[in-house]
Chain A
Amino acid sequence: MASDTSKQQGRPGPEMGHRPPLLSVRELGVALQTRGGNLQLTQNISFEVGAGERVGIVGESGCGKTVTGLALLRLLPARSMQVSGKILLDGTDLLRLPGRQMRAIRGRQVAMIFQEPMSALDPVFTIGQQIGEAIRAHFPVGAREARERAVDVLDRVGIPLPQRRHDEYPHQLSGGMRQRAMIAIALACQPRLLIADEPTTALDVTIQAQIIELLVKLSSEAGTALLFITHDLGVVAETCERVLTMYAGQVVEDAPVEDVLVRPRHPYTSALMRSLPNLSVPKSVLPSIPGRVPNALAMPAGCRFAPRCAHARPACGRAQDALPVGADHRVRCARFDELELPGTAA
């Protein structure tokens, strides 16, 4: 019964460090068109996800995590949102694909799951019908084979009595089972990248542990890369190999998880870690981050974190570029080299 969900089982060996990127995001930005003009919600987002790699995205709410995830799949409303930059999947820019080709990729190559499974599941179709539909959209299979595959994937995501659950409706399942069902739909076509937006936030810790174990297992068995959006650093630490910290629409740090937990280079990443209550002495005053994430209408001209940063200096009034810390670590802070910032282990 005692089992190990730690990252060891799916951790890349040294040889995997040079995997060619599956996904390469370059200067991605999302602008909201309003009557008052364009509002830049996210900007200059560049990162890569290797084949089979598990990457986390953390940050407070409103930092642009969801918008980024939706942009990758071109799920943002085209009428009101403008996406710029490049989203290269195996070298092909998704932003330039005709709608039909994009639909062929969505679900088949890249799939997405959300925090609230009820909003993604259709209440009038059975779980099995919804998985079958996903499969038949991409594979030329008959009803019988679709059913077999659907039952098989339900079984793989750990749903007991998959034959029976296949014919049940979403409302007949508990929250944890619905989340599994959504994962089943997403994984039915064996995508190469799964984008998971807060998939465990609404769940109990016990069920969260099950879902995390499942995602890590499925990702390492099938080589599915994972982009795991969450505000929970603990979830990232237990799931991912690399983590992007987002702040006010930008990626401010991109680093291997183990490195950043020990020594974050961006004051925001460090501050997020230090505000976790379980890392402080019980009853002590918790370190918090004064102020709030600025909104797109009032973005500071220089470093976006400066108004809340304990280490701000006049030089921080310039816009910050993403600077290399090492081969696989980048940070948007001019002072990164002089600062000794505490991580979770401090």
Chain B
Amino acid sequence: MSVPLLQAEDVLVQFPAPGQAPIRAVDRVSFSVAANETFGVIGESGSGKSTLGRALVCLNRPDAGRILHDGADPFALTGRAFRAHRRNYQIIFQDPNAALNPRMTILDSVCEPLEILGEATAAARRDRARAMMDRVGLSGSYAGRYPHELSGGQKQRVNIARALTVRPKLMVCDEVVAALDVSIQAEVLNLLAELQGEFGLTFVFITHDLGVVSHVSDRIAVMYLGKIVELGPAARVRHAPLHPYTEALLSAEPSALPAAMRTRERIVLHGEIPSPADPPSGCRFRTRCRFAEPRCAVDAPAFREVQPGHFAACHFVDQLTLQGPAS
């Protein structure tokens, strides 16, 4: 078997918290992503998705464990070699404005990553940037415009073009369609899928939207309080979840189907995600789990392969009968 494009081995990322133990935002997670795959990550706010995404592209350094790119640890590289390597691993964010300088023209923004790398001549860089803008559906007339003259969807296209000019292997998309209307969201998702085929891209797709994640992903990881609680093929996770948290997330998704076609009973999760500064003992989900038993407060469940390629961390995974989503 070939080496996966991306591996996370027992990755821990923590943030210092004054006067208490550090917050373990990502707490010992392991998985791998194959070239050309779309790997979805879902979970509630604060579950550690963005922190994980940033670690995958070397924006956060793991406090323990390793990130491997093509089998090698990028943090073993230094200086220029590190920078040259990182271009292959790009990230785009939810807020289409975040990465765009309001005082730079669209063309200059798209050129900038190439410029930083000092690649090619200025004229060649502009040609590449223009070609990429064209590819993402921004005609030449946008080149001289400024970010405030563009809609959210168009700005997100600029960000995509920007990330793609350096021809990365992997792109982490962190909530990239969350701020967009459904119709525009559909266009951006279609574009990303086309670009994936064309450039052989690998995606790590972070979102809290179950509809989006199940549409784009080959496999889905479900995060809760810094842990991956379930990981498996997208269709399995969506239609035959193994973990009670996944079941609850699926059930919470509002369904636009007529009432007669909504079969399931809604499970409303009570309470909120606990503070990662002081996670529950044993199974982290136990304070909100409808199946919790005394044992769950004592032992942390192992993350294990329950079915081929389908993992979950729950003591009772073999005994529970969980319901799928509404549709």
Contacts and interface: CB of A to CB of B under 8 A. Distances in A.
Size category of the binding interface on chain B: 35 or more
Contacts of B208: 204-205
B215 A237 contact: no
B80 interface: no
A208 B250 CA distance: 13
B215 A277 contact: yes
B272 A207 contact: yes
A195 B184 CA distance: 26
A20 interface: no
Q: Which of B183, B212, B215, B235: most chain A Cβ within 10 A?
A: B183
Interface stretch (B3-11, B168-176, B253-261): B253-261
A131 interface: no
Contacts of B248: 206
Interface stretch (A136-144, A161-169, A209-217): A209-217
Given A2-B266, A174-B272, A345-B258, A279 B327 contact: yes
Contacts of B266: 2-6, 209, 213
Interface stretch (B27-35, B64-72, B186-194): B186-194
Interface residues of A, number: 54
B151 A292 contact: yes
A6 B272 contact: no
Interface in A10-57: none
Interface in A130-188: 174-177
A286 interface: yes
A278 B210 contact: yes
Contacts of A278: 210-211, 214-215, 253, 255, 327
Contact of B186 (A8, A282, A286): A286
A127 interface: no
Nearest to A60: B181
Nearest to A239: B254
Contacts of B45: 175, 204
A261 B255 CA distance: 11
A280 B186 CA distance: 11
B234 interface: yes
Contacts of A277: 185-186, 189, 209, 211-212, 214-216
Contacts of A317: none
A286 B253 contact: no
A273 to B, nearest CB: 6
A231 B45 CA distance: 20
A61 to B, nearest CB: 6
Interface string A264-281: 000000011101111110
Contact of A288 (B186, B193, B265, B273): B186
A283 interface: yes
A271 B182 CA distance: 10
A297 interface: no
Contacts of B273: 204
B21 interface: no
Contacts of A204: 44-45, 208, 273
Contacts of A212: 254
Contacts of B256: 233-234, 236-237, 261, 273, 276, 279, 344
A293 B306 CA distance: 48
B285 to A, nearest CB: 12
B249 A205 contact: yes
A288 B210 CA distance: 19
A287 interface: yes
Nearest to A263: B258
B148 interface: no
A68 B24 CA distance: 45
A285 B216 CA distance: 10
A205 B272 CA distance: 11
B103 interface: no
Interface string B31-46: 0000000000000110
A166 B237 CA distance: 41
A344 B216 CA distance: 19
A282 B235 contact: yes
A288 B190 contact: yes
Contacts of B193: 283, 285
Contacts of B255: 234, 237-238, 278
Contacts of A176: 272
A37 to B, nearest CB: 22
Nearest to A174: B272
Contacts of B153: 292
Contact of B265 (A2, A177, A207, A262): A2
Contact of B215 (A7, A174, A286): A286
Contacts of B211: 276-278
B149 to A, nearest CB: 12
B36 to A, nearest CB: 13
B143 interface: no
A238 B44 contact: no
Interface in B191-235: 193, 208-212, 214-216, 234-235
B186 A206 contact: no
A93 interface: no
Contact of A275 (B185, B234, B249, B267): B185
22 contacts: A4-B266, A60-B183, A207-B272, A208-B254, A233-B182, A233-B256, A234-B256, A237-B254, A262-B258, A271-B183, A277-B211, A278-B211, A278-B214, A279-B256, A285-B190, A286-B215, A287-B186, A288-B187, A288-B190, A289-B183, A345-B257, A345-B258
Interface of B: 44-45, 151, 153, 181-187, 189-190, 193, 208-212, 214-216, 234-235, 248-249, 251-259, 261-262, 265-270, 272-273, 290, 327
Given A278-B211, A292-B153, 12 more contacts: A204-B273, A208-B252, A237-B259, A261-B256, A261-B258, A271-B183, A273-B256, A277-B211, A278-B253, A278-B255, A283-B215, A288-B184
* Those 6 A-B pairs whose CB atoms lie nearest each other, nearest first: A234-B254, A278-B211, A288-B186, A286-B186, A277-B215, A289-B183
